[in-house]
Structure 1
Amino acid sequence: MDALSWAVFALGIPAAVFAGVSKGGFGSGAAFASASILALAFEPAMALGIMLPLLMLIDVSSLPTYWKKWSWPEVRLLLLGGVPGTFLGAVFFGMVEANAIRLIIGGISIAFVLWQLARASGVLKLGTRETSPAVGIAAGVGLGFTSFISHAGGPVAAVYLLGRRLSKTAYQASTVIVFWAMNVLKAAIYAVMGFFTVETLTINLVLAPFAVLGTWIGIRAHHVVPERLFFGLTYVLLTVTGSKLIWDALS
């Protein structure tokens, strides 16, 4: 696909801005919606290859704001599980076809919406009791696996971190540092697997300013803007894109 095609501008720019806003200031794993958007127009491997450098750029842009504001006990456990989880994701990705990945990305998108609605309605309650270190490591494994195959490790991290009752800033800082480390590891594996091409890197150059813009907006909105409207948009977006990916995979 031409790096300057309509799909890059129509889907790539909103995806880049959305990822920046979410990772810059509105946690709960919503940034992975950007990979779902790109997967509508690109093959899964290409969509992942496009998004990862943008996510890493966003990490670098937002990390100084949250530096050392994370909660190290939770971060350490997620990283301990995240490394083997990432390698499991790489093995799995190499064994299945593109439609299986579309189905997984779509399924995770819908599951995220259902999980958030269950939390909002009180059906699912987090933080009612202490969790063991094994839970944190298991969450890290799930984080690494889903992050590798769909950049969707955020929801798994959110389930664990929200259950730890961290402050809003400590939660956001913890997700930023964890995914910065995970994305560095993923980048090395993606390179070996051929996810990065001249075409994907050209698209990265086109979308990079919009990712930085989204990060700037997210950081400044973090302390002043209520998240309800943002997440409402996220739920609609994930429901539509998730349903479309599932339909494409099955048909």
Structure 2
Amino acid sequence: MHDLLSDPWLYVFAIPAVILVGLSKGGFGGAAGFIGVPLMALVMPPVQAAAILLPILILMDVVSLWTWRGVYDKQTLVDMIPGSMIGIGIGWLTAAVVTADMVRLIVGALAIIFVGQWVYKSIRHRGLPAAAPRNRIAATFWSTISGFTSFVAHVGGPPFQVYVLPLRFDPKVMTGTAAIFFAITNAVKLIPYFALGQFDATNLQISLVLLPLAPLATLAGAWLVRRMRPEVFYPFTYITVAIVAAKLVWDSIASFQ
């Protein structure tokens, strides 16, 4: 374990991972942050990468909450938070059975289908499709998946976006709503992570070394989002979802060979 702390390759991959996650937390392309765990997993087990990132994610959540304070959609949170808690519980109960590669395959496949639907609707409507109506059943379903995949591999964003993106909120409202949703989700995840023994002195030490990057990257993401128009923000976000989805599917298939 000590060798990992002194391994330069750790920082070659971990520093860009934290920066990408921070930009994501700030709202600049929410899907971009899901490259974080796969990047760090190039030099360590995925479970260890997730444990190291969780304290960093929580600091980013604090910065993001402060940055987007007062800008959110209350009804979406009411509809989605209960499902997230259910998903975390399922993840905790099945932690010994479900692998990160299985989660990557499921999330990646669902996200590709989701982006395909958006492309089809955009072509059909010759531009951004109209906003979808709220649906509490769909909100509960996708938030449960989000809580589960967030617990297992910090990949809760694509399922969250499957429900929220079609609502076509102002980018600032969507980012502020996501900030609250994932701040609550990540805080609750601390309990089972501790119970499962995923925090040790070495992992926390690496988290501490990387921690200063967290607020800077998060604020940079927020600065960029505030300057993006919806007609730029939404296509960009869907494209990043597609790229990360393809990466997740590719990695999961490669692991089964």
State TM-score, norm by structure 1. Answer: 0.86
Q: What pairs up with 1:140-151 in 2 under 5 angstroms?
A: 140-151=143-154
Instruction: Write the letter of the residue equivalent to 2:256.
Output: L
1:75 deviates by 0.7
For the 8 Å contact 1:69–1:169, the answer to whether it is kept is yes
Give the number of equivalent residue pairs: 247
Q: In the alignment, is residue 250 of structure 1 matched against residue 256 of structure 2?
A: yes
TM-aligned CA distance change 1:18 to 1:186, over 3 Å: same
1:146-167 deviations in Å (ceiling 9; x for gaps):
1111111111111111222211
1:131 deviates by 3.1
1:124-174 deviations in Å (ceiling 9; x for gaps):
987554233222222221111111111111111111112222111110000
SS in 1 for 2:211: helix
> For the residues of structure 1 that align with 2:113 and 2:213, how far apart are their CA atoms?
29
> For the residues of structure 2 that align with 1:229 and 1:138, how far apart are their CA atoms?
25
1:109 deviates by 4.0
Q: What pairs up with 1:1-251 in 2 under 5 angstroms?
A: 1=1, 2-96=4-98, 100-109=99-108, 111-112=110-111, 115-116=114-115, 118-120=117-119, 122=121, 129-225=132-228, 227=233, 236=243, 239-240=246-247, 242-247=249-254, 249-251=255-257
For the 8 Å contact 2:122–2:129, the answer to whether it is kept is no
> For the residues of structure 1 that align with 2:29 and 2:239, how far apart are their CA atoms?
14
TM-aligned CA distance change 1:168 to 1:230, over 3 Å: closer
> For the residues of structure 2 that align with 1:37 and 1:106, how far apart are their CA atoms?
17
> For the residues of structure 1 that align with 2:33 and 2:45, how far apart are their CA atoms?
19
Structure 1: 5+ residue stretches without partners: none
1:19-51 deviations in Å (ceiling 9; x for gaps):
000110224443222122223332222111011
> For the residues of structure 1 that align with 2:253 and 2:88, how far apart are their CA atoms?
23
> For the residues of structure 2 that align with 1:237 and 1:139, how far apart are their CA atoms?
18
Question: Which portions of structure 1, spanning 4 or more consecutive aligned residues, are displaced by more than 3 angstroms?
Answer: 27-30, 109-118, 120-129, 225-242
> For the residues of structure 2 that align with 1:141 and 1:230, how far apart are their CA atoms?
22
> For the residues of structure 2 that align with 1:29 and 1:245, how far apart are their CA atoms?
17
Instruction: Write the letter of the residue equivalent to 1:116.
Output: V
TM-aligned CA distance change 1:36 to 1:85, over 3 Å: same
TM-aligned CA distance change 1:134 to 1:114, over 3 Å: closer
State TM-score, norm by structure 2. Answer: 0.84
1:1-28 deviations in Å (ceiling 9; x for gaps):
4123133212111110000001102244
Output the aligned Cα RMSD: 2.6
TM-aligned CA distance change 1:188 to 1:127, over 3 Å: farther
